[in-house]
Structure 1
Amino acid sequence: MLISKNISSEIIIIICVLISLNAVSQTDSTMINQDSIPPAVDTTSYLPDSLIGGTPKLSILKEKEKPEIIDSSLIYFFEGSMENLKKNILLDIDTSILNAHKFDPLKINNGMYSTLSNIGLAHKPLVFKLDKTTGYSLQINSFDNYVYRSEGVKYYKLYIPQSKISYVMGSKKEQNLHVDLKREIIKNLTIGFNYSLNNSPGPYRRSKSNNTRVYFTGQYYTQNKRYGIAANYRNSRIRVEENGGLVNDSVFENNVESDRRLFEMNLTNASQRLINSGFFVEQYFNLLKPSKRNDSSERKIDAGHLSYSINYERNQLIYNDDNPLSDFYAPYSTPIDSTTTFDSVYQSKLSNKLMWSSLGYNEDKLSKVFYMYFGAQHKLVSQTMAYDSVAIAYNEIKPFGGISLNLFKSMHFKAYGELILSDYSGGDYKLKAEIDQYLGNENNNVGRIDASIELLSRKPYWWYENYNSNRFRWTNEFKKENSMIISGKYTWRNLSAGLVFNTFSNYTYLDDSVKPQQVTNTETHLQLFVSGNLKIKKFGMDTRLVYQKVSIPAIIRVPDFSGLLNIYFRSNIFKDAATVQTGFQINYYTAFYADAYMPELRAFYLQNDKKTGNYPFADFYVSLNVKRAILFFKAAHLNSYLGDYRYYNTLHYPGRDARFYFGVSWRFYN
Structure 2
Amino acid sequence: MQIKYYYILVFFLFVTSLGAQVKLKEKTTQNTQGNFGKDSTVTNRSKGFKEVATVDMYLQFNYELDSIPIDTTLAIKKDYKFNYLQKDNFGLMPFANIGQTYNTLSFDASENKTKPSFGARARHFNYLEHEDIRFFEVPTPWTRLTYKTAFEQGQLLDAFFTVNLSKQFNFSLAYKGLRSLGKYQNSLTSSGNFRFNSKYNTKDKRYTAKGYIVMQDLLNQENGGIKTEDLENFASGNEEFLDRSVFDPNFENAENVLEGKRFYFEHSYKITKEKDSLSNNRLSLINKVSFEDKFFQFSQDVAVTDFFGDVFSNSINDRVTLEDFRTSLGLSYSNNTLGQVGFALNYTDINYGYNSVVLFPNQQSIPNRIVSNFIGIEGTYSKAYKGFNLSGRGNLNLSDTFVGSFLDGTISLKLNEDIALSGGITINSRLANYNYLLYQSDYINYNWYNFDDFKNVNTQQIKFSLESQKLFNAYFDISNIDNYTYFNLEETIDQVNVIRPKQYNKPLQYLRLKLQKEFKVGNFALDNTIMYQNVVSDDNVLNVPDFITRNTLYYTNQLFKKSMTLQTGITLNYFTAYNMNGYDPLLAEFYTQNNTELGGFPRLDFFINAKVRQTRIFLKAEHFNSSFTGYDYFSAPNQPYRDFIIRFGLVWDFFL
Output the TM-score relative to the length of structure 2: 0.86
Change (3 A) 1:223 1:447: same
Equivalent in the alignment of 1:474: 448
Equivalent in the alignment of 1:657: 643
- Give the letter aligned to residue 116 of structure 1: F
Alignment of 1:244-643 (within 5 A): 244-247=224-227, 248=229, 249-256=231-238, 257-291=241-275, 297-330=276-309, 334-337=310-313, 339-359=314-334, 365-366=336-337, 370-385=339-354, 387-388=356-357, 391-408=369-386, 410-426=387-403, 428-439=404-415, 444-471=416-443, 472-476=446-450, 477-493=453-469, 495-513=472-490, 514-531=499-516, 533-552=518-537, 554-642=540-628
- Give the letter aligned to residue 480 of structure 2: T
Q: In the TM superposition, what whole-angstrom CA distance separates every residue of 1:178-230 from its partner, at most 9, and x where no partner exists? A: 11210112342111012212321011111111111110011111111111111
Change (3 A) 1:19 1:223: farther
Equivalent in the alignment of 1:178: 158
DSSP-derived class of the 2:465 partner: strand
Structure 1, unmatched stretches of 5+, are 1-5, 31-41, 45-68, 292-296
Deviation of 1:498 after TM superposition, in Å, equals 2.7
Equivalent in the alignment of 1:646: 632
DSSP-derived class of the 1:151 partner: helix
Deviation of 1:423 after TM superposition, in Å, equals 4.8
Equivalent in the alignment of 2:128: 148
Change (3 A) 1:545 1:430: same
Measure, in 2, the Cα distance between the counterparts of 1:626 and 1:433.
43
DSSP-derived class of the 2:545 partner: coil
Q: In the TM superposition, what whole-angstrom CA distance separates every residue of 1:360-407 from its partner, at most 9, and x where no partner exists? A: xxxx644xx711111122111112226449654211322011222222
Measure, in 2, the Cα distance between the counterparts of 1:317 and 1:43.
42
Contact 1:396 1:423 in 2 (8 A): no
- Which deviates more from structure 2 when the two are superposed, residues 157-166 or residues 9-18? 9-18
Change (3 A) 1:534 1:96: farther
Contact 1:529 1:546 in 2 (8 A): yes
Measure, in 2, the Cα distance between the counterparts of 1:401 and 1:136.
20
Q: Which runs of 4+ in 1 moved over 6 A?
A: none
Measure, in 1, the Cα distance between the counterparts of 2:569 and 2:508.
41
Equivalent in the alignment of 1:48: none
- Give the letter aligned to residue 448 of structure 2: W
Contact 2:157 2:176 in 1 (8 A): yes
Contact 1:110 1:564 in 2 (8 A): no
DSSP-derived class of the 1:420 partner: strand
DSSP-derived class of the 1:109 partner: coil
Measure, in 2, the Cα distance between the counterparts of 1:386 and 1:254.
48
DSSP-derived class of the 1:160 partner: coil
Change (3 A) 1:650 1:107: farther
Structure 2, unmatched stretches of 5+, are 25-30, 34-51, 358-366, 491-498
Measure, in 2, the Cα distance between the counterparts of 1:358 and 1:307.
11
Alignment of 1:56-71 (within 5 A): 71=54
Change (3 A) 1:10 1:520: closer
Contact 1:21 1:183 in 2 (8 A): no
Contact 1:447 1:490 in 2 (8 A): yes
- Give the letter aligned to residue 523 of structure 1: L
Measure, in 2, the Cα distance between the counterparts of 1:650 and 1:154.
33
Measure, in 2, the Cα distance between the counterparts of 1:317 and 1:238.
10
Measure, in 2, the Cα distance between the counterparts of 1:385 and 1:493.
52
- Which deviates more from structure 2 when the two are superposed, residues 619-628 or residues 297-306? 297-306
Equivalent in the alignment of 2:141: 161
Percent of paired sites with the same residue: 24
Alignment partner for residue 104 of structure 1, among 68, 83, 87? Answer: 83
Instruction: Tell me the number of residue pairs that the alignment of Structure 1 and Structure 2 aligns.
Output: 601
Equivalent in the alignment of 2:42: none
The answer to whether structure 1 residue 136 and structure 2 residue 116 are counterparts is yes
Measure, in 1, the Cα distance between the counterparts of 2:554 and 2:477.
29
Measure, in 2, the Cα distance between the counterparts of 1:218 and 1:135.
28
Measure, in 2, the Cα distance between the counterparts of 1:152 and 1:357.
24
Measure, in 2, the Cα distance between the counterparts of 1:629 and 1:114.
29
- Which deviates more from structure 2 when the two are superposed, residues 179-188 or residues 529-538? 529-538
- Give the letter aligned to residue 374 of structure 2: E
Measure, in 1, the Cα distance between the counterparts of 2:326 and 2:17.
33
- Give the letter aligned to residue 456 of structure 2: K
Contact 2:305 2:311 in 1 (8 A): no
Measure, in 2, the Cα distance between the counterparts of 1:392 and 1:465.
9
Equivalent in the alignment of 2:13: 17
Contact 1:402 1:416 in 2 (8 A): yes
Measure, in 1, the Cα distance between the counterparts of 2:505 and 2:480.
12
The answer to whether structure 1 residue 94 and structure 2 residue 63 are counterparts is no
Change (3 A) 1:587 1:352: same
DSSP-derived class of the 2:627 partner: helix
Deviation of 1:300 after TM superposition, in Å, equals 2.2
DSSP-derived class of the 2:260 partner: strand
Measure, in 2, the Cα distance between the counterparts of 1:555 and 1:152.
30
Contact 1:501 1:524 in 2 (8 A): yes
DSSP-derived class of the 2:483 partner: strand
Equivalent in the alignment of 1:206: 186
Measure, in 2, the Cα distance between the counterparts of 1:72 and 1:510.
47
Change (3 A) 1:611 1:14: same
Deviation of 1:465 after TM superposition, in Å, equals 2.1
Is the strand fraction higher in 1 or 2? 2
Deviation of 1:457 after TM superposition, in Å, equals 1.7
DSSP-derived class of the 2:259 partner: strand
Measure, in 2, the Cα distance between the counterparts of 1:72 and 1:640.
41
Contact 1:376 1:397 in 2 (8 A): yes
- Give the letter aligned to residue 255 of structure 1: G
Alignment of 1:179-198 (within 5 A): 179-198=159-178
Equivalent in the alignment of 1:77: 60
Measure, in 2, the Cα distance between the counterparts of 1:638 and 1:123.
20
Deviation of 1:43 after TM superposition, in Å, equals 10
Change (3 A) 1:171 1:244: closer
- Which deviates more from structure 2 when the two are superposed, residues 311-320 or residues 605-614? 605-614
Deviation of 1:534 after TM superposition, in Å, equals 4.6
DSSP-derived class of the 2:131 partner: helix
